[in-house]
Amino acid sequence: SKAPITVAVTGAAGQIGYSLLFRIASGALFGADQPVNLRLIERNDEKALSALNGVCMELDDCAFPLLNSITPTCELDVGFQGVNWAILVGSVPRGPGMERKDLLKINGGIFTGQGKAIEKNAAGDVRVLVVGNPCNTNCLIAMNNAKGVPADRWFAMTRLDENRAKSQLAAKAGVHHSTVSNLAIWGNHSATQYPDFFNAKIGGKAATDVISDHDWLKGEFISTVQQRGAAIIKARGLSSAASAANAACDTVHSLTRPTPEGDWTSVAVCSDGSYGIEKGLMFSFPIRTDGNKWEVVQGVPVNEFSQAKIKATETELREERDAVTELGLI
Ligand code: NAX
């Protein structure tokens, strides 16, 4: 049988962790023949570590055939030891009255430390997916504090946005969401993100041909996707968790297997200057991969409407980058 893959998850006792860990342990990310070691990281807090212990008890109680070992810890050098994948979920959300700068500072402390610990302890082939918000900039901070880990190993999650956009387009067209392809999310995982319907396809045809209501596409569609997180909080009283965990599974799945012919997927990566996006920003692009090496899909048409949206989300990411630079985090 195969040697186990070692996966670290931070914020393992949180909402997303509670959905994600069971999917990882059941084989949903790496396949039904791939054993996994889980290294579960929480903050050094009695309540959090007790909750993590409870989650570990439940993982034991699943008796997952593929789950080789579980290591709960609050020490980063232990948590990131030998990891092939690090999924960084734990972060501190913006509380009432908290300034954006305070938020970046608190999370900066978390992600500088985690970047350093990944560089020091992870396996040579480590890949990192940041989910905890603000995920693009948290990823930027970690990456810049782990210069020994190549830039092409760092990802921030926009797949939930892609999935949300596909589901909205399918509902409008009255078709199943599996028929929607080529949906690129450009930019930041925030309210400035641009879900690119101009290049999306429905049943292989241009979404703009299938959906005749272009005012809806340019207006309500975009704002529904951008505001979906807030709508979930309003409805559920809690932020998206199972769908976020599902998107993390989808992201890792897509990055570790060849992209279907003619399609692409969305994830934020370190910009190489493609599409005029400033180099070094963590920016969501349409990407393709052979399961190992990925590339930004080139030559995707960007019209004037799209260009304006893409510039707006780039501007926001530059501002976040400038703020964390000023704070000395990168
Ligand atoms: P929870 O508050 O339920 O869980 C977060 C967990 O992280 C807690 O158990 C906490 O103790 C832990 N934690 C905090 N600081 C830590 C540290 N330094 N080291 C290790 N663990 C630490 O939040 P949850 O709903 O699970 O969401 C987690 C993050 O995902 C949030 O930042 C959230 O904003 C973000 N999201 C990102 C999404 C995306 O598409 N990229 C969508 C869903 C979600 O909003």
108 exposure class (CB count in 10 Å sphere: 0-12, 13-18, 19+): buried
316 CA distance to ligand 1 middle (Å): 22
Is 168 annotated in a binding site? The answer is no
Strands 127-130 and 205-206: unpaired
Q: Which residue's alpha carbon is at the smallest distance from atom 17 of ligand 1? A: 43
Enter the DSSP assignment of 109: H
What pLDDT is stored for residue 17 in this prediction? 98
Quick one: DSSP state of residue 35?
-
Ligand 1 pocket mutation pick from 9, 39, 43 by most atoms within 8 angstroms of CB: 43
Confidence of residue 100 (pLDDT cuts 50, 70, 90): confident
Question: How many percent of the chain have pLDDT more than 90?
Answer: 95
Largest Cα–Cα distance of the chain, in whole Å?
56
Q: Give the lowest-confidence range in 94-108, 204-218, 269-283, 304-318.
A: 94-108
Q: Return the ligand 1 atom nearest residue 18 CA.
A: 26
Q: How far is the CA of 10 from the centre of ligand 1 (A)?
A: 8
Q: What separation in Å is there between the alpha carbon of 90 and the centre of ligand 1?
A: 4
Q: How many CB atoms lie under 10 A from the CB of residue 298?
A: 10
The answer to whether 131 is annotated as binding is yes
User: Is-contact 150 144, C-beta < 8 A?
Assistant: no
Closest atom of ligand 1 to CA, residue 130: 41
Q: Is the pLDDT of residue 50 over 90?
A: yes
ipTM of the complex: 0.98
Best CA proximity match to 287, nearest among 194, 144, 177, 152: 152
